[in-house]
Amino acid sequence: MRGAPVTTLRIWGKEWRGIAKEVFEDEGFAEAREILDKGLAALSRRKGAPKRVGETAYADTLMELMRLVLMRNETISLTAITEPVEFAALHLLDSLACGGLPELESAKEIIDVGSGPGFPGLPLAALYPEKTFLLTDSLRKRIEFAAFAADALGLKNVDALHSRAENAGRDPALRERFDLALCRAVGKMPVILEYSLPLVRTGGAGIYYKTIAAEGEIEESVLARELLGGSAEVGSVDYADLLPGRRHVLFIVKKERATPGSYPRREGIPSKVPL
């Protein structure tokens, strides 16, 4: 991608130099669109998937999101995935893995914990304009980009918050408010459960993006689920239909009881001393 023609945007009073829009007609972007279209077609066949997933305009929105991310990635680090085909698979389609699941379909207020530059929140917000999404991240430059991208894509159902998850979980305005928490952030289950479940109302759920290799974390998180009000049983959904050949899975934890006020613990403790 280096050395490609550039274009300049002004946002927040600063210049953004990045890849010109016409470059997206080649250099692997046509192949990325093919991968994306195949994945969206597979998603459209799922029971409960919204009709919008099959619309050309939705695929166009996702491609524009990729352009915006890679454009800004030329000057600040948003993602290590910069090849268009990999981006389409591992950011766009991976984000949509929970599409059609009852936990998502029934949710009205959704929080994306550790969203980075907006994944999975932005692709899902574009697919579900009737739902509201709060994107959170501890790194300011990434969450500021997510806010910009939401505005650029015309997503009126997205808010972005710069906050550590531990602090968000103790904020009375956010604690136990959401129907669903999503988490693609890197971290073992006991840690990300402590980040996310305090934000979910009783009767809601958390969905965690993992690989098959992480199945051992279900056993490791028994105590965390018990202490945080999560379910004893953990649901598991393979999404090879969207990403053939990839060993990715969603873990689903129901919120059955209110989280005690002692959780989440203060900044840094959940990752240093997991439950």
**Do 86 and 100 share a structural domain?**
no
Q: How far apart are CA 183 and CA 64, in angstroms?
A: 23
pTM equals 0.91
C-beta separation of 19 from 74 below 8 A: yes
Tokens of 25: 């007609």
Backbone angles phi and psi of 78, in degrees to 5: -105, -35
Q: How far apart are CA 93 and CA 79, in angstroms?
A: 15
**Do 208 and 141 share a structural domain?**
yes
The H or E element that residue 6 is part of is strand 6-11
**Do 102 and 55 share a structural domain?**
no
> Residue 125 belongs to a domain with what CATH number?
3.40.50.150
C-beta separation of 204 from 177 below 8 A: no
**Do 107 and 224 share a structural domain?**
yes
Count Cβ neighbours within 10 Å for each residue of 22-38 and write b for 16 or more, e otherwise. ebbeeebbeebbebbee
Spatial neighbors of 2 by CB under 8 A, at least 6 apart, are none
- What is the DSSP secondary-structure string of 32-57? HHHHHHHHHHHHHTSTT--GGGG-HH
Question: Structurally, how many domains does the chain consist of?
Answer: 2
Burial class (CB in 10 A: 0-12, 13-18, 19+), 219: exposed
C-beta separation of 237 from 208 below 8 A: no
Count Cβ neighbours within 10 Å for each residue of 228-241 and write b for 16 or more, e otherwise. bbbbeebeeeebee
Sign of the dihedral defined by the CA atoms of residues 237, 226, 184, 96, in that order: positive
C-beta separation of 136 from 118 below 8 A: no
**Do 206 and 173 share a structural domain?**
yes
Domain assignment of residue 184, yes or no: yes
Q: Which amino acid is at 113?
A: V
Looking at 27, 58, 91, which one is the last position of a domain? 91
**Do 201 and 122 share a structural domain?**
yes
pLDDT tens series, the chain, 275 aa: 434 444 444 444 444 444 445 555 556 789 999 999 999 999 999 999 999 999 999 999 999 999 999 999 989 999 999 999 999 999 999 999 999 999 999 999 999 999 999 999 999 999 999 999 999 999 999 999 999 999 999 999 999 999 999 999 999 999 999 999 999 977 899 999 999 999 999 999 999 999 888 889 999 999 999 999 999 999 999 999 999 888 899 999 999 999 999 999 999 999 999 99
**Do 82 and 25 share a structural domain?**
yes
